[in-house]
């Protein structure tokens, strides 16, 4: 447990009330959303007055101190309808409407996220934005109007890099950009990047939080991130929720032999190509072991074309951390063949359950894994991933030490304290703005 009064006083001695942090995100589902919720809970436990503003909430969500954006006002609706009408009349093609067309095209053509950085919402007018001492952005691609928000919000802004979107154009990862991009989308993509760079320059008080060292280095190499304050602070993991569970009961539930090799795979959408399930199937089929089992957790249809020598079990989405811990605990290995990640929330969950991890060498995994808790593949190929799994299966991992190592680096206490130090620094350095 975090000692609220003593620790809080170390970082905010000059503040007579709890510091007020507003987190903003499109939603709190998915990996980025769960990372935000865990940070929010850790900060509340630390004694920081943390709140969340989202554009939508999942049904029956019980996350505390969470507010949904106000309904669109009349002027917002006009900003949404007029561009569509003028576009159809071929009178004016507004940047907002062109961005929405690119968003739709990217989703339908490549199943990729694309956001131009323009929105009809004016979130600076939200009461909770006015309430906050510091505004902390997360995954906001579909809700934030970058130009107006950074121009009108005269407060320190922290932006956690839950993907690369704050640093690049409309796509959320460089690897998401397809070859032979149509010219009209290429122009919107370039405009989106310039839009952010200009907004950061005008505001002048923005700090990036990177979840990994590699992402921080990339941020420094970009025009948007160069010369700005960048802190590396990982996602927290709650060891009370993620801990060794009853893996044997899960094996019995699915009729898995106690001696079978079981590989778990978790993704919000198991068929998201970036998450790499197809590479895992190819790699597992050539492991040379008798009927390995892959347990897939997440939404989406079961994969097609599964090799006969591999058994795949799809559980659907699992939100209960104790159920998920039991699935991790039923595993011999946890597989993370994702081609791009800012962190690796599922990796730390598996490690907290004492399960070794095999991963592609994406930015997040390089900070999380070392030889005592898992194996990084040498490259982004099914053959390299197979070799990494074989290497992991030939080793002996200590479950107790694996869990201890994960909690020592990613505990809620450690992550909350790192954020508290950052917030305090920003408030001490803050220059007053004229309202």
User: Looking at residue 70, what is its pLDDT?
Assistant: 81
* β-pair partners for 159: 137, 208
pLDDT score of 2 more than 70: no
User: Looking at residue 30, what is its pLDDT?
Assistant: 80
Take residue 309 and report the two structure tokens written for it. Answer: 């020598």
User: Looking at residue 81, what is its pLDDT?
Assistant: 72
Mean pLDDT over the full length of the chain: 91
Structure confidence by residue, pLDDT tens digits, 287-304: 989 899 999 999 999 998
User: Looking at residue 3, what is its pLDDT?
Assistant: 46
Please tell me the pTM assigned to this model.
Answer: 0.82
User: Looking at residue 74, what is its pLDDT?
Assistant: 67
| Residue 243 burial by Cβ neighbours in a 10 Å radius (0-12, 13-18, 19+) | middle
User: Looking at residue 64, what is its pLDDT?
Assistant: 87
Question: Count of CB atoms within 10 A of residue 17's CB?
Answer: 8
Please give the order of strands across the beta sheet that includes 229-232: 66-68, 49-54, 20-25, 134-137, 157-161, 206-210, 229-232
User: Looking at residue 434, what is its pLDDT?
Assistant: 31
pLDDT score of 10 more than 70: no
Structure confidence by residue, pLDDT tens digits, 133-179: 999 999 999 899 999 999 999 999 999 999 999 999 999 999 899 99
Least confident of 17-31, 261-275, 317-331, 390-404: 17-31
Percentage above 90 pLDDT, the chain? 76
Closest by CA position to 325, among listed 412, 259, 211, 237: 237
237 and 414 Cβ atoms separated by less than 8 Å: no
Structure confidence by residue, pLDDT tens digits, 15-37: 567 899 999 999 998 888 889 99
The pairing of beta strand 357-359 with beta strand 229-232 = unpaired
Structure confidence by residue, pLDDT tens digits, 106-131: 999 999 999 999 998 899 999 999 99
User: Looking at residue 76, what is its pLDDT?
Assistant: 67
DSSP designation for 224 = T
Task: Give 153's Cβ-side CA count (13 Å radius).
Answer: 32
User: Looking at residue 431, what is its pLDDT?
Assistant: 46
Structure confidence by residue, pLDDT tens digits, 61-112: 888 899 898 876 667 666 677 677 767 777 767 888 899 999 999 999 999 9
Within 8 A by CB and 6+ apart from 31, the residues are 162, 268, 343, 345, 346
Please state the separation of Cα 215 from the chain's center in Å: 12
Q: Mean per-residue pLDDT for 367-378?
A: 96
């Amino acid at each position: 447990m975090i000692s609220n009064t003593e620790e809080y006083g170390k970082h905010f001695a000059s503040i007579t009330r709890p510091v007020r942090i507003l987190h903003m995100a499109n939603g709190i589902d998915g990996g980025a959303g769960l990372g935000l919720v865990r940070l929010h809970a850790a900060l509340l436990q630390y004694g920081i007055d943390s709140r969340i503003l989202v554009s939508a909430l999942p049904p029956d969500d019980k996350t505390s101190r969470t507010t949904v954006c106000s309904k669109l006002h009349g002027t917002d609706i006009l900003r949404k309808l007029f561009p569509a009408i003028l576009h159809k009349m071929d009178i004016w093609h507004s940047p907002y409407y062109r961005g929405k067309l690119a968003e739709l095209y990217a989703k339908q053509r490549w199943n990729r996220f694309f956001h131009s950085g323009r929105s009809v919402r004016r979130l600076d007018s939200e009461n909770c934005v006015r309430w906050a001492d510091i505004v902390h952005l997360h995954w906001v691609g579909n809700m934030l109007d970058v130009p107006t928000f950074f121009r009108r919000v005269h407060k320190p802004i922290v932006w956690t890099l839950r993907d690369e979107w704050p640093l690049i154009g409309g796509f959320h990862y460089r690897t998401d950009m397809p070859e032979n991009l149509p010219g009209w989308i290429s122009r919107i993509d370039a405009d989106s990047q310039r839009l952010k760079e200009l907004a950061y320059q005008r505001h002048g008080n923005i700090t990036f939080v990177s979840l990994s060292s590699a992402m921080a280095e990339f941020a420094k190499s970009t025009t948007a991130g160069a010369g700005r304050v960048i802190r590396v602070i990982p996602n927290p993991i709650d060891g009370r929720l993620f801990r060794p569970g009853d893996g044997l009961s899960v094996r019995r539930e699915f009729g898995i032999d106690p001696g079978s090799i079981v590989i778990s795979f978790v993704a919000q959408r198991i068929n998201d190509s970036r998450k790499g399930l197809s590479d895992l199937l190819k790699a597992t089929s050539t492991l040379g072991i008798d009927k390995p089992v892959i347990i897939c957790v997440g939404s989406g249809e079961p994969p097609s074309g599964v090799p006969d020598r591999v058994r795949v079990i799809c559980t659907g989405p699992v939100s209960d951390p104790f159920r998920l811990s039991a699935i991790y605990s039923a595993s011999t290995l946890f597989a993370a063949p994702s081609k791009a990640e800012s962190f690796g929330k599922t990796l730390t969950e598996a490690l907290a359950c004492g399960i070794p991890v095999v991963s592609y060498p994406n930015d997040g995994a390089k900070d999380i894994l070392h030889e005592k808790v898992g194996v990084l593949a040498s490259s982004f190929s099914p053959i390299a991933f197979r070799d990494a799994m074989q290497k992991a299966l030939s080793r002996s991992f200590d479950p107790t030490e694996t869990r201890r190592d994960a909690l020592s680096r990613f505990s809620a206490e450690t992550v909350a304290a790192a954020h508290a130090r950052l917030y305090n620094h920003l408030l001490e350095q803050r220059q007053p703005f004229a309202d």
